[in-house]
Chain A
Amino acid sequence: MLPDYYEFYNPPKLLSGNFALENIPGALADLKAKKPLLLSDQILKKIGTLQTVTDALLSGGMTPGGSFTEIPADSSSLVVNQIAALFRSLGCDSIIAVGGGSVLDTAKGVRMLISQNAGNIMDVMGCETIDCGERVPFIAVPTTAGTGSESTMVAVILDPIKNIKMEFISYHLLPDVAVLDPRMTLTLPPRITASTGMDALCHALEAYTCLQKNPVSDAFAAGALEIIRDHLRTAVNNGKDVKARQAMANAAFMAGAAFSNSMVGMIHAIGHALGGVCHVPHGEAMTILMPYCMEYNFDVLEGLYGKLLLYLAGDEIYAGTPREERGRGTISLIRQMTSEFHESCGLPMRLSETKARREDFEKVAQAALKDGAMIVNPKQVGQQDVLNILEKAF
C-alpha cells in the first residue's frame, strides 16, 4: 500500500566486489579529498584487516593523514569528541572508517561534528535538524555484514553519563561511498557472522513492517531477505566462501538502506536498551528478541509477516503454505534459523545465555520506551509489555 507521504534517500556510491578497496583512492580523488583520517579498532588492526586497507590505499598512491584505532565496541560521545579534535589537529580533510557498526557510527559522529563545526556531539543531537554544513568526504568500509551502517542515516552512540545509547538521525550522516570488499569479512568467526546476519535479517523484517514502510524500502528489504535466505547459512558454515560473504555484505547494505528510510521498531528499541544497560551484543539481542516481539506484534502484522515467508522461505514453500499459516510460518522459520546457528556456532537463543540480568529488566524497559525506534512500531508498547517479552526471552 502506498503511504500518504514518504521520503526515500540513499545517496552512497556503492563499490562492491573484488578489489573494491583499491578503488578508494580514486573515489577520494573524485571527492577532492587528499588527507583522510583512518578510523578503526584494535582487533582489526591486530588481525591485519586494517593493513589490507592501507595497502590498497598505498597501491593507489594515498597515505592517510593520520589514524585512530582505539574505537571500542560501544563507542561513546567522549570517543567521538576526541577523534574530532584529532581530525582538526592533523588538518585532515576526509574520513575513511573501517569496521563494524561502532566504528562506522563513531565516524558519522565525527563527520557531523566537523561539518557542523561543533565541539561536543551532544550539541548536535536531534532528528533531521542539521544542514549539510561543511563538506567532509566520508568513505565507509564495513567489516561485518549486519549493521548496514554504511547505508543508514542513523548513528547510535553511547551517552556514558546516562548509560543510554543515543540515536542521531540526519540525511547528512550517510557516507559518500560504501565499499563492500569480500576480503573485509572473510575472517569473521561463525558466531559473529551469524549474529550480524540475523541483525541484517531483523533490519529487513522491521523495515518491511514498521510505520514508515514504503514501496522503495520494501524492495530493498525483500531483496535483502532473499540474499540472506540463500547465503547466510553458507557464510556461517564456510567463512571462506567469498561468494556468500560478498552476498551477505550486499544484503546488509540493502537492509540498511531499507531501514534507514522506513526505520526499525520495538525489536531494535529493546535491543538498544539491552545493549546500553546490560551490554548484550546488538546482533545477539536481535536474534533472541525477534520471535518474541513478532509474537507480540502478530495481531497487527500477521498479513505482512505472511508475505515475508515468500522472501525467507522461497516460492515453493510459500505457495504450499495456506494463507492463514504463513505469518506463523515466518516466525517458525526464524526460530529454526536461530536454533541451527545455536547448534553450529553457539549463537544464544535466550537472554539468560548473555550478560542480561533479571534485576536490570525494569531499567531496560524504561530505556526501551524512550528509544526513538519505539514510535514507528505499528503496535503500542507499554512498560509491562516489554517486561513480559524480556521475561519470555530470558
Chain B
Amino acid sequence: MLFFLYRAFQVLYRYDETVRREVDGWKAGFKICMNATRQGPGICLSHTEKGIERLGKQKFSEADMTIEFRNIDAAFLVLSGQIGVAQAYSQHRFTLRGSIADCMSFVHCVEIIEAYLFPGFIARKILKAMPKKEISPVSVYWHAILNI
C-alpha cells in the first residue's frame, strides 16, 4: 500500500499542478519517511530534481520528517481509506517527528492522491472537500502500475 502510494505520488508530481507546487515548496533533498509501525514496513521518499524518488530504508535515520502510525491497524485504517488523514490526526493514530508546517504540506499532497486513488464514494467520505482532478484516475493507476 505504501509502495503504491509512492508510485501515485510520483505520477501526480508530474501531472497534478497542486501536488507539484506543494512538493516544489520543499527544500531540495527533503526526505520524508512513513512507517506503518516502529518495527513494521515503511517507505522513505525524497524530493529531488527528478521529482519524487524512493530511498532505501537505511535513509530513515536521515529523514527530515517521519510519520509513524501507532499500530498496524491504524495504518490499515488510513491506507485502506476507512478514515482520512485529518481524522487519523484527530484520533492520534500517528506521530510526527519534524516540522508540523512541512507535515501539513505533505498531508495536502496525500489528500489529493487519495482523491485520485479511492473511488468517489470513499474519497467523499474521508475528505473534507474533493480536489479538482487534472488527470483521470485510470491514468494514474496505469502510470503507477507500469511505472511510466
Contact = CB atoms under 8 A, between A and B. Distances in A.
Contact of B96 (A129, A370, A374, A378): A129
B114 to A, nearest CB: 13
Contacts of B83: 4
A163 B105 CA distance: 17
Given A369-B104, A371-B101, A380-B128, A126 B86 contact: no
A263 interface: yes
A-side interface size class: 20 to 34
Given A166-B101, A169-B100, A378-B128, A126 B95 contact: yes
B104 A127 contact: no
Nearest to B89: A375
A328 to B, nearest CB: 23
Contacts of B89: 375-376
A379 interface: yes
Given A211-B86, A375-B86, A126 B97 contact: yes
A324 interface: no
Which of A169, A211, A374, A379 is the most central at the interface, judged by chain B CB atoms within 10 Å of its CB? A211
B129 A380 contact: yes
A166 B129 CA distance: 26
B90 A128 contact: no
Contact of A375 (B91, B99, B104): B104
A126 B128 contact: no
A167 B102 CA distance: 12
Interface of A: 3-7, 125-129, 164, 166-167, 169, 210-212, 263, 367, 369-372, 374-376, 378-380
Interface of B: 68, 83, 85-87, 89-93, 95-105, 107-108, 127-129
CB-CB nearest 8 A-B residue pairs: A380-B129, A380-B128, A370-B101, A372-B100, A127-B96, A212-B90, A211-B90, A126-B97
24 contacts: A7-B91, A125-B97, A126-B97, A128-B92, A129-B97, A166-B100, A210-B90, A212-B91, A369-B104, A370-B100, A370-B105, A371-B100, A371-B101, A371-B104, A372-B100, A375-B89, A375-B107, A376-B86, A376-B89, A376-B90, A378-B128, A379-B128, A380-B127, A380-B129
